Structure 1
Amino acid sequence: MKRLLSFLIPVLLSTTAFTQSLPIKLDEYFTIAGRIGRFNGSVLVARGDTILFHKAYGWRDLARQVPNDTNSVFQLGSITKTFTGAVILQLQEEGKVSLKDPLSRYLPGYPSGEKITLEHLLTHRSGIPDFKQALYSKDTSVAQSFSRPVSHDYILSFFRDKPLASEPGSQTHYSNSGYYLLGMVIEKVTGHPFEAEVRRRFLTPLQMRSSGFDFRNLRIPGRTTGYTMQRDTVMVPIAPLDSSAAYAAGGMYSTTGDLFRWATAVRRNLLLRPETWEEALSGHPEWGYGWGVSEVNGDKLAYQNGNLPGYGTFFVYIPKQNLTIILLSNIDDASYLSDPDPVLATVAKMAYGGPYQLPKRRRAVSPDLLNAYAGKYQLGKDKVVSVTVKGGNLLLDVPGQPTYHLFAESTTDFFLEEANISFTFHRDETGKVSRMTVHQNGDTEATRL
């Protein structure tokens, strides 16, 4: 899960909007993205009760040449947290818990449990270290252990006795561990498995029949194979995590269609009181109760995104626009090519009628060539931009903006994923890189300093 989303990325110069209808734009974008490996999964975009776009791209099972469709089933990762938060809030409405309760009331003996509240766990302000890195352990025996059922005690061993990152309530530190503990609290309060409570309280009432937890043992045609990208070109299958590993922090599976039923519940204030939903989707201060909270064009945005080995997912709801965006991919974000963030940013730009760029095929270039382009460039009278190399990637730093990744289209031409901007590097008569041209609504020259 990333902390914030920057959908409408600031650009170097002004841009103009496209005028195509949204479904046509989306299909054009995702058709190209699917062809070059930029997106592999299912996408749904809706305004209110109206589904504007719902299609799937790429492969459900590459080896068997089975394509994805809108019934494809994906592991969700952190989208699970929206359900975990909702169960806790429903229990509070029933008078069985309070968000101000200390963790020690439900899990006696947990270190610092008397200082950590349920609200701290929900809003990532408990200070409890995140256990997620264990899922990617270089210790093969540890990494492989998560592909079969694991106990609570086993998962707790990765974070229970580690020192807090900060005093509870004082700082925000994103922590899957906090949501894992919330699942245990739910079991303690209800006397039932966490998974059973989610199903009884939400999945069954909303008729989310293609959603659940035990993905590893799921035996239905729509079950996807998860992949990671190697060298931005090769889809390598990955064994799925057992749902007991990610549990209340990320153990669910679903489809885009089922998640639209969940979006309907959120939008219509179903199964929780309206004031409770309002609290869930508000920042406290940076995170809601199961949701990330940000802004796009001044509009409040609630979201969750999941990142598990083999899967990358996004669920976005913008109340003012009555807009829902759901992206489920069976390729993880280990590669720049398969990172879902720029894809989501593009969909948001389209929905707002803003400028966007169609996906381009990337080319590998040598480290020596990248290093030759590194330096500072004078763009206009009072703006200096920096081009740097890090981890074999060419990066662009613009004052007051995030760092952008420049992708190679040729040995001299590079482009941004976030906006319709490209760059050409030029050499002087001695062979030294002397300037770059910024292509955006015309050409602007930037001299190397």
Structure 2
Amino acid sequence: MTRPTTRRTVLGALGAASLASTTLMITPGAANAAPPKDLRRRGAYDRFVAQRAAQDAFSGTVLIAHHGQPVLARSHGMANKDQSNPNRSDTVFWLASITKTFTALAIAQLAQLGRLAFHDTVGAHIDGFPTEVASTVTVHQLLTHTSGVGRPAVGGGTPPGLDWNSFDEVMDGTLTLLRQTPLQFAPGTRYAYSNDGFFLLGAIVARAAGQSYFDYIRQHVFAPAGMTRTDFYSRPQVLANNAIARPYWTQRDGTRADFATSPYAPFSTGPAGGAYSTVTDLLAFAGALTTGKLLNPAFVDLITSGKQALPPSQLPSQAEFYGYGYLNAILNNRRILGHSGSGPGAANRLDIYPDLNWVSIVLSNYDTTIDPIVELERELITR
């Protein structure tokens, strides 16, 4: 096991680690100032990521861009260890909860069109829920994880839904379970992160749009953003596609196993975490989002601004809030928005710096923490 990395280690002990890996460099336009050397090839950030990879604490791809142009993209580790297939700049990774940014964006698009409102209750769009949910839980509360909707955490045992074999079964089966699950607390009284809440939001998208959630996201988010390698993949598709990185999850003894071949891997994690993408596609998404290509700028400001104060996290910040499917942090008086994504065999981060025109993306097919990498990136960009 790798020893915990301290802040001093991140900022100071950047040894001469091997840089034998895939590199992509695109020179920014002449109108843009040269990026700091610490964020360029062989700079402090690049060396630190390589050091983490050399310790087998990171496997994946990182990308840093300024004014929409990649400054550095670097890949380490294996997408498929059995086939000795390395991670590359175009490798597709499981995004996990970064998917929530797409779901929230879809809700906002439909609100902009007048097909739903943020104060709408669940019962205005979805049938079959008990009154305590249907008449009290709002879209706003689902988006901010303050709804009380969700199944309580369970210990060992086989999770439900492993026999679902289509995206429709995943959506319908999850909704059936949620209709039978009482609220965990009175809506609006506290914050509790809820994947189930975003499944319910996905169902609301489908009802308001008149088509499946997955088709809506493909047509109204991925396509207009130019995300040509992004999609929702099922477990069988992940197994069959060598372009997709296999998630390697950490077992109790510290060894890693291929989660995609695990009997406990679900068919899909749906609107809460089922999308797969590349670093370049996420950069395209960040650009489309912040330039108003996907949503009116007023609605972009609405969904990306902080709504719910969050307790301190492992990453240092002056303040951290949850918006409508977007995390917000302030560090060194600079705003950072985006989302993290984690699960068995995944550790991801999308960071957008709207007032500095920087974007940083980390996608990993290990579940080892990427916080030290993200912390260094944030310090170097905001200092």
Counting matched residue pairs gives: 334
CA distance in 1, matches of 2:189, 2:381: 37
Aligned equivalents of 1:143, 1:90: Cα separation in 2:
30
Residue type matched to 1:21 in 2? D
For 1:278, the aligned partner's letter is: D
- Give, in angstroms, the shift of residue 178 of structure 1: 1.1
Aligned residue identity for 1:70: S
Q: 1:165-187 CA distances to partner (integer Å, 9 max, x unpaired)?
A: 32212221111111100111111
Counterpart of 1:212? 231
Distance 2:164 2:279 in 1: 26
Residue matched to 2:65:
46
- CA–CA distance in structure 1, aligned partners of residues 302 and 361 of structure 2: 22
**Aligned CA distance change for structure 1 residues 48 and 95 (closer, same or farther; 3 Å):** same
Tell whether 2:157 aligns with 1:122.
no
Matched, 1:288 2:323: yes
Greater C-alpha radius of gyration: 1
Letter in 1 for 2:38: S
How much does 1:39 deviate? 1.0
Query: Which is richer in helix?
Result: 2
Q: Structure 1's 181 and 93: CA in aligned 2 closer, same or farther, altered over 3 A?
A: same
Q: Tell me if structure 2 keeps the 8 A contact 1:291–1:304.
A: yes
Residue equivalent to 2:206: 187
In 1, Cα distance between equivalents of 2:232 and 2:249:
21
2:31 alignment counterpart: none
String of CA shifts for 1:189-240, please: whole Å, max 9, x gaps.
1221101001110211222111000242155432111101346863321126
- Residue 322 of structure 1: aligned partner: 357
In the alignment, the residues of structure 2 paired with residue 180 and residue 313 of structure 1 have an alpha-carbon distance, to the nearest angstrom, of: 20
CA distance in 2 between counterparts of 1:86 and 1:248 reads 12
- Please tell me whether residue 66 in structure 1 is matched to residue 66 in structure 2: no
Map 1:34-433; keep pairs closer than 5 Å. Answer: 34-111=53-130, 112-130=133-151, 133=153, 138-140=156-158, 142=160, 144-145=162-163, 150-216=169-235, 217-218=237-238, 219-230=240-251, 234-239=255-260, 245-286=268-309, 287-332=322-367, 338-353=368-383
Q: CA deviation at 1:148?
A: 7.0
The two structures, once aligned, show a CA RMSD in angstroms of 2.7
Distance (Å, rounded) in 2 between the aligned partners of 1:129 and 1:120: 12
Cα distance, 1:269 vs structure 2: 2.0
- Tell me the distance in 2 between the aligned counterparts of 1:130 and 1:294: 28
- CA offsets, 1:275-325, max 9 Å, x none? 100011111133211101221112222121111222121111121222211
Which of 18, 38, 41 is equivalent to 1:21? 38
Assess if the C-alpha contact under 8 Å between 2:199 and 2:272 holds in 1. yes
- Aligned letter for 2:379? K
Shift of 1:100: 1.0
> Highest relative contact order (Cα 8 Å, sep 6+), 1 or 2?
2
Mark the CA change 1:148 to 1:102 in structure 2 (over 3 Å): closer, same or farther: closer
Deviation per residue, 1:13-63 (Å, 9 max, x gap): xx9999953222222112111111111001111122121111111111112
Give me the whole-angstrom Cα distance separating, in 1, the residues matched to 2:328 and 2:159: 37
Q: In 2, Cα distance between the equivalents of 1:221 and 1:108?
A: 40
TM-score (ref. length: structure 2)? 0.80
Task: Report the Cα offset of residue 244 of structure 1.
Answer: 5.6
Secondary structure of the equivalent of 1:326?
A: strand
Change in CA separation of 1:55 and 1:16 when aligned onto 2, cut-off 3 Å: closer
Report the Cα offset of residue 108 of structure 1: 2.6
Alignment identity in percent?
28
Alpha carbons of 1:61 and 1:146: their partners in 2 closer, same or farther (altered >3 Å)? Answer: farther
SS at match of 2:232: coil
Cα distance between partner residues in 2 of 1:153 and 1:266: 30
Relative distance call for 1:32 and 1:231 in structure 2 (3 A) is farther
8 Å Cα contact 2:334/2:382 also seen in 1: no
Q: Deviations over 1:323-366 (max 9, x none)?
A: 2111110112xxxxx1122221122223335xxxxxxxxxxxxx
Q: Deviations over 1:124-159 (max 9, x none)?
A: 11111356x56xx62236485478764434323554
TM-score, normalising length from structure 1?
A: 0.68
CA deviation vs aligned residue, 1:107-130 (integer Å, no higher than 9, x gap)? 133132111111111111111135
| Matched residue type, 2:382 | Y
CA distance in 2, matches of 1:330, 1:318: 24
**Distance in 2 (alpha carbons) for counterparts of 1:146 and 1:351:** 44
192 and 215 in structure 1: CA distance in 2 versus 1, 3 angstrom threshold: same
- After superposition, the Cα gap between the structure-2 partners of 1:108 and 1:147, relative to the gap in structure 1 and judged at 3 Å, is closer
Cα gap change, 1:187 to 1:123, in 2 (>3 Å): same
Distance 1:16 1:30, change over 3 A: closer
Conserved 8 A contact 2:59-2:77:
yes
Task: Give the unaligned 5+ runs of structure 2.
Answer: 1-5, 15-35, 310-321
Moved more, 193-202 or 153-162: 153-162
Give the Cα separation in 1 of the matches to 2:180 and 2:352.
Answer: 37
Q: Match for residue 18 of structure 2? A: none
Change (3 A) 1:175 1:290: same
* Structure that is richer in strand per residue: 1
- Summarize deviations over 1:68-125 as a string: whole Å, max 9, x none: 1111111111111111111111111111111111110111331321111111111111
Matched with 1:366 is none
- Structure 1: segments with no counterpart, 5+ residues: 1-7, 333-337, 354-449
Distance 1:43 1:59, change over 3 A: same
